[in-house]
Structure 1
Amino acid sequence: MHQKSLVAARTGGAMAAVVLGSLLVAAPQAAAADVTCSANVFKRTFYKNTSFSGSPVKTDCDSAVSESWSGSPAYGVPSNNFSVRWSVTRDFGSGGPFTFAASATDGVRVYLDGVRKIDLWKGTGDTARSQSVNLTVPAGKHTLRVDYLNWTGAAKVKFTYTPRTAAVYDKTKPLFPTGVTTAYNTTTRKTTVSWYANKEMDLASYSLYRRPVGSSTWTKVTTTAARSHTDPLVNPDDRTPYYYAVRAHDKAGNVSPGSAAVIVRPLPVVTSLTGTYDKATGKVTLKWPLNTEPHFSHYTVLSNDKVEGSYVWVPLGTTTGNTWTTGPVTPDGEWRHYRVLVTNDGGTTTYNPHWLDANAPHELWLGIPDGIAPAYAPDLTLGTCAGGVRATASDSTPAPIRDFIGLEIERREAGTDTWAVALHQGYDPRTATATATVCDPLPADGRTYEYRARTYDAAGNYSPYSEIRAVTVPVG
């Protein structure tokens, strides 16, 4: 009677048998596909020869090179005259002194970045030999490779690489921690600092430091083997910003430089404030960077206005956006002052002193264009001068409250519509009355001319015109 089916399997040296019809045959293992191993885990390849040639019979991952095979190490690999290769590329951090140790029956070779460091390549039967070397591994990523072959007998192989942590050997500082981040809790008013694990193989601990912004003195918060820590310091008012930095310690007592300092602002801040004035609408539009802190709640926009004879900060409203448009603002050529405050989800708001602060990034001093013309028309008188008409414009407004910088006189021929500028000039500020005079040359042809005058300010705004005055030039 024919056996219909049969399956046999063995872990490690995996063997399988299947029935094809009535014939029992060995099922070949699937072709060894490329294998990706976890970080710092060796990739292991088996060969059915002692030259590491041809396609591997099997490829897998191995957390450590430590084997003792009494027969075939894997399905398809003979018990004698086979080879195995382990390889791993890993980050050694700052590097430093290491000990490489290998023991094996028959042949074992160890390479660092392709350079042979251990060479035990001789048939030994069932008796293992060992060798260790002390060397310095440079900082960064490097590749380890272990080649093992077995000619006959027991197949034993072991390899380790360990840092030398005695202070007399290790003078290499560990790398500083990276990926430092912070999280502020507005309920407890405490800061939690986290960072990435160091690549060092001889890491002992981390030290966390803090200092207030504006101070140069660092205070150690804790020493820990963990990669995060909640600072027990309670921020007194949610407003005091601190810097945090982390250092790494190795087992030899070497200390890394400090990590990049990370600032913790328990209260979000507006880092810049800009604004524009729209002449058409008379409104000011304010803009600032939008805060993204998890403990951000909202903004309050304020304007510095005169209330009952004193300037105070008056709230215009609140928003969660990063723009604000005011109501119409009088275009008086004066400065306007604005502030944007931030409130966190704990209810604390940016400090808001009553005075102006020209250096505050969340405060804007905006010059409003002058759109207000001088209020009154000047006086205009006409007389004669050599070859024409003398026209004089004057304004007796006291000098301290004058809202103009010059006077302009225009002339046209009576009965026409086109005015021509006869004079546009400033006045002598030393005189009690602001005066400007022009001798306007005109032909003696009996025609009548009309004159008018107005003042103007520095922004180009003009006052109302004076009354029109006429003069007839006699025929010469």
Structure 2
Amino acid sequence: MHQKRSVAALTVGALTGGALFAVAVGGLLAAAPRAAAADVTCAANVYKRTFYKNTSFSGSPARTDCDTAVGQSWSGSPVSGVPSNNFGVRWSVTRDFGSGGPFTFTASATDGVRVYLDGVRKIDLWKNTGDTARSKGLNLTVPSGKHTLRVDYVNWSGAAKVTYTYTPRTSATYDRTKPLAPTGVKTAYSTKTRKTTVSWAANKEMDLGSYSLYRRAVGSSTWTKVATTTTGVRSHTDPLVNPDDRTPYYYEVRAKDKAGNASSGSTDTIVRPLPVVTSLTGVYDKATRKVALKWPLNTEPHFDHYTVLSNDLVDGRYVWVPLGTTKGATWTTGAITADGETRHYRVLVTNDGGTTTYNPNRLDAVATNELWLEVPDGIAPAYAPDLTLRTCALGVQATVSDYTPAPIRDFTGLEVERRAAGTEAWSVVLHQGYDPRSANATATVCDPLPADGSTYEYRARTYDTAGNYSPASTIMTVTVN
């Protein structure tokens, strides 16, 4: 007698649960692994809900979908393929609680319901109650950041009812946790309307009451509240006080919750009604006697052009004189006198709305768009001094004198040189300053020389602090006997 071999297959009605089939192997039925339920991705802060055909949440789910809230009342089977009794439903969601704080968890259900926070059971009502529901509320503190909530519900028999909520406690008596500072602050300045629009990202707090926008001028420590908005409004256009204001401003956004706790300010965001030149450098070329200016090129969308200015003497007073305009980041001046004076240059920015950087007539030593450049002195003293020679105990006495009045002297010292007649090289025998209190600038040196009948030549010059020398005096000759 032959053993009967059979093959049996069973297909689960709920397609999302996959298929279960059995194959007779050696006369015994062996259960093949069931295919995993189709993966479901839910929107932010929306529960993923899974149905099980048992109360132990074992095996693959019979169905998986998304649910905006835990609040159900089933009189029979909750979904196709799941029995009316002895089934389980699990809800789970991971969300950002912002700064966290005090919350109330509330659950109500017929039969069994359990609530978990990050895997830790917080509410446990696990008993077959038939059609009678009971509830429980729990006050607890949720830490800041992301956390996972899970609700497990089972229905053993009778009506299937379950609700769960988690809500922040907004009374100032309990909530003393400051909201997180807003993030994602962006600014956009319009050169046509001369207004600034500030926008920011939604705060992750669940008990948020309002946002406030603040502004302060660069260089000031005082914040001015510009506007307060509801939680649904996350932008504001600030017209400023003066539409022609060229002052750069900082903006920051603060959040306040329903308990009155205020966050710190968002990261300060600077708005410049005009692009600015953040640094200005320059080099003087002795060969061409020109100054080459350089600055960082602006990339702001509302930049239009630069204006280069020089502070020059006009009609008896110094004023800023435009040298020209450019869209580039360099400028070379015309030839200037190498007089050892400090030259002052400034670069202004004009935006596409026609507004130009503030241009006060005074000098500003700390302005980033202003350069104070000391030009080397290339002008030598104009006149040669006088030179006289006499004998002294050791050799030759040389005296150099200049009779230019003290207020207009353009030299700081006197020099005498000597060389042997018929040679080229000069030796310095005197190089010194003079007494400025004297009517004449003069200096004397006794140059020790052997009385061997040799002939020497002498000349004198004046010099300034930059090392420029005047023309030399007439060469004088002396023979030492």
TM-score range relative to shorter protein = 0.7 to 0.9
Which position in structure 2 is the counterpart of 1:432? Answer: 439
Which position in structure 2 is the counterpart of 1:381? Answer: 388
Amino acid at match of 1:413: A
Aligned equivalent of 1:218, options 213, 219, 224: 224
CA contact (8 A) 2:17 2:37 kept: no
Which position in structure 2 is the counterpart of 1:114? Answer: 119
Aligned equivalent of 2:345, options 325, 329, 338: 338
Report the Cα offset of residue 439 of structure 1: 1.2
**C-alpha distance in 1 between matches for 2:14 and 2:235:** 41
Aligned equivalent of 1:179, options 173, 176, 184: 184
Report the Cα offset of residue 83 of structure 1: 5.5
Aligned equivalent of 2:467, options 449, 452, 460: 460
Which position in structure 2 is the counterpart of 1:21? Answer: none
- Over 3 Å counting, the alpha-carbon distance change for 1:37 and 1:316 in structure 2 is farther
Aligned equivalent of 1:103, options 94, 105, 108: 108
CA contact (8 A) 1:238 1:348 kept: no
Report how many residues are paired: 459
CA contact (8 A) 1:413 1:448 kept: yes
Report the Cα offset of residue 199 of structure 1: 0.9
**Quick check: 111-120 or 382-391, which moved more?**
111-120
Which position in structure 2 is the counterpart of 1:135? Answer: 140
- Over 3 Å counting, the alpha-carbon distance change for 1:437 and 1:34 in structure 2 is farther
- Over 3 Å counting, the alpha-carbon distance change for 1:270 and 1:449 in structure 2 is same
* Corresponding position: 1:399 with 2:401: no
Aligned equivalent of 1:162, options 147, 164, 167: 167
SS at match of 1:230: strand
Residues 215-364 of structure 1: pairs in structure 2 closer than 5 A: 216=222, 218-224=224-230, 225-233=232-240, 235-364=242-371
* Corresponding position: 1:367 with 2:371: no
- Over 3 Å counting, the alpha-carbon distance change for 1:55 and 1:455 in structure 2 is farther
Which position in structure 2 is the counterpart of 1:390? Answer: 397
Which position in structure 2 is the counterpart of 1:23? Answer: none
**C-alpha distance in 2 between matches for 1:313 and 1:133:** 74
CA contact (8 A) 2:35 2:60 kept: no
CA contact (8 A) 1:287 1:324 kept: yes
Amino acid at match of 1:113: D
**C-alpha distance in 1 between matches for 2:246 and 2:476:** 69
Report the Cα offset of residue 251 of structure 1: 3.0
Where does the alignment leave 5 or more consecutive residues of structure 1 unmatched?
Answer: 1-7, 19-25
- Over 3 Å counting, the alpha-carbon distance change for 1:42 and 1:452 in structure 2 is farther
- Over 3 Å counting, the alpha-carbon distance change for 1:313 and 1:52 in structure 2 is same
**TM-score, structure 1 as length reference:** 0.83
CA contact (8 A) 2:17 2:38 kept: no
**C-alpha distance in 1 between matches for 2:408 and 2:447:** 30
CA contact (8 A) 1:408 1:453 kept: yes
Which position in structure 1 is the counterpart of 2:28? Answer: none
Report the Cα offset of residue 114 of structure 1: 3.5
**C-alpha distance in 1 between matches for 2:354 and 2:15:** 63
CA contact (8 A) 1:268 1:293 kept: yes
CA contact (8 A) 1:379 1:393 kept: yes
Amino acid at match of 1:443: P
Which position in structure 2 is the counterpart of 1:3? Answer: none
Aligned equivalent of 1:451, options 437, 442, 458: 458
Report the Cα offset of residue 288 of structure 1: 3.3
**C-alpha distance in 2 between matches for 1:29 and 1:68:** 29
Report the Cα offset of residue 86 of structure 1: 4.1
1:342-367 Cα distance to aligned partner (Å, 9 max, x none):
21221111222333233433222221
Report the Cα offset of residue 446 of structure 1: 1.5
**C-alpha distance in 2 between matches for 1:15 and 1:94:** 41
CA contact (8 A) 2:17 2:63 kept: no
CA contact (8 A) 1:283 1:328 kept: yes
1:245-279 Cα distance to aligned partner (Å, 9 max, x none):
43323334444344455443323333443333233
Where does the alignment leave 5 or more consecutive residues of structure 2 unmatched?
Answer: 1-10, 22-30
CA contact (8 A) 1:274 1:364 kept: yes
CA contact (8 A) 2:248 2:273 kept: yes
1:369-416 Cα distance to aligned partner (Å, 9 max, x none):
212222222222222111211122222221111111112222221222
Amino acid at match of 1:221: A
CA contact (8 A) 1:13 1:74 kept: no
**C-alpha distance in 1 between matches for 2:13 and 2:271:** 58
SS at match of 1:427: coil
Amino acid at match of 2:438: T
**C-alpha distance in 2 between matches for 1:29 and 1:464:** 109
Which position in structure 1 is the counterpart of 2:27? Answer: none
- Over 3 Å counting, the alpha-carbon distance change for 1:345 and 1:416 in structure 2 is same
SS at match of 1:415: coil
**C-alpha distance in 2 between matches for 1:441 and 1:212:** 72
1:203-243 Cα distance to aligned partner (Å, 9 max, x none):
23223344556483624434333000123556331424444
CA contact (8 A) 2:16 2:64 kept: no
**TM-score, structure 2 as length reference:** 0.82
Let me know the Cα RMSD of the aligned residues.
Answer: 3.6
Which position in structure 1 is the counterpart of 2:197? Answer: 192
Residues 403-414 of structure 1: pairs in structure 2 closer than 5 A: 403-414=410-421
SS at match of 2:407: helix
- Over 3 Å counting, the alpha-carbon distance change for 1:97 and 1:415 in structure 2 is same
CA contact (8 A) 1:410 1:421 kept: yes
**Quick check: 248-257 or 90-99, which moved more?**
248-257
What is the aligned-residue identity percentage? 78
SS at match of 1:400: helix
SS at match of 1:237: coil
